[in-house]
């Protein structure tokens, strides 16, 4: 469906460093079978999905997110899985660090308080690696990978020349110290 010109499709996400994205993408291609491996530069962990939003609200969202205080944390990527209901292969942490849970709560709390709409489904932390998959045949050799998460981003999702593209609009760093 066409999207109105003055709107953007948005979400907040943790964005892995390029070397980590690259490692995950190699395995995603191996594991994909007939599914679609996500491109390396698109790999991320969604914190809150806003969907189609008025473009004029982006500055408000940016200042709201800049006010989210969180400490940098380590996210162990020590689990891969397959979800039948949406046919994705994903990876994530067996147990979310408290700092990640707190970040999501703080961000979503601020969105709520500001009357900004987002998908209210409970947060289930994961990175989608493959879509349209039919299962997993082998575990990856890299488990566990440690992700040093030091910032999150407001991201625009768009089709650019027919390709699904995620463009981080702004990054929000963890508090120092």
What are the residue numbers of the active site?
Answer: 44, 126
Helix, strand, coil tally for the chain in percent (to 5):
25, 40, 35
Shortest spacing between CB 176 and ligand ATP, in angstroms: 28
Q: Which of residues 129-158 bind ligand ATP (CB under 6 A)?
A: 157
- Cβ–Cβ under 8 Å, residues 93 and 75: yes
In the block, tokens 């191996």 appear at 30
128 forms part of the interface with ligand ATP (CB under 6 A): yes
Does 15 interact with ligand ATP (rule: CB under 6 A)? no
Minimum CB–partner distance for residue 79 and ligand ATP (Å):
17
Distance CA 35, CA 28 (A): 10
- Vertex 71 angle, CA 97 and 153, to 5°: 90
- Contacting residue, 55, 146, 164, 169, with ligand ATP by CB under 6 A: 164
Residue 9 lies near ligand ATP (rule: CB under 6 A)? yes
* Interatomic CA distance for residues 143 and 149, integer angstroms: 17
Choice between 21 and 128, CB closer to ligand ATP? 128
Residue number with the shortest CB distance to ligand ATP? 157
Check: CB of residue 73 under 8 Å from CB of residue 99.
yes
The radius of gyration of the chain from alpha carbons, rounded to an integer in Å, stands at: 16
Among 11, 15, 73, 152, interactor with ligand ATP by CB under 6 A: 11
Rounded to a whole number of angstroms, the minimum distance from the CB of residue 98 to ligand ATP is: 22
Interacting positions 54-113 with ligand ATP (CB under 6 A) = none
Helices (H), 70-168: 98-113
Rounded to an integer, what distance in angstroms lies between the CA atom of residue 37 and that of residue 17?
A: 18
Cβ closer to ligand ATP: 95 or 132? 132
Shortest distance, position 156 Cβ to ligand ATP, whole Å: 9
Q: Which tokens sit at 70?
A: 């969180």
* Positions that interact with ligand ATP (CB under 6 A): 9, 11, 46, 49, 119, 121, 128, 157, 164
């Amino acid at each position: 469906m066409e999207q109105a010109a003055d709107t953007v499709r948005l979400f907040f996400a943790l964005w892995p460093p390029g070397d980590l994205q690259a490692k995950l993408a190699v395995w995603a291609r191996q594991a994909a079978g007939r599914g679609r491996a996500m491109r390396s530069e698109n790999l991320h962990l969604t914190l809150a999905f806003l969907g189609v939003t008025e473009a004029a609200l982006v500055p408000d969202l940016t200042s709201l997110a800049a006010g989210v205080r969180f400490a940098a944390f380590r996210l162990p990527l020590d689990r891969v899985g397959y979800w039948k209901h949406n046919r994705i292969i994903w990876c994530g942490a067996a147990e979310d660090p408290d700092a990640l849970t707190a970040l999501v709560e703080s961000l979503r709390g601020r969105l709520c308080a500001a009357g900004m709409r987002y998908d209210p489904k409970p947060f289930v932390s994961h990175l989608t690696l493959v879509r349209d998959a039919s299962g997993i045949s082998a575990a990856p050799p890299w488990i566990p990978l440690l992700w040093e998460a030091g910032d999150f981003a407001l991201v625009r999702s768009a089709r650019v020349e027919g390709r699904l593209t995620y463009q981080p609009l702004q990054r929000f760093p963890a508090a120092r110290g």
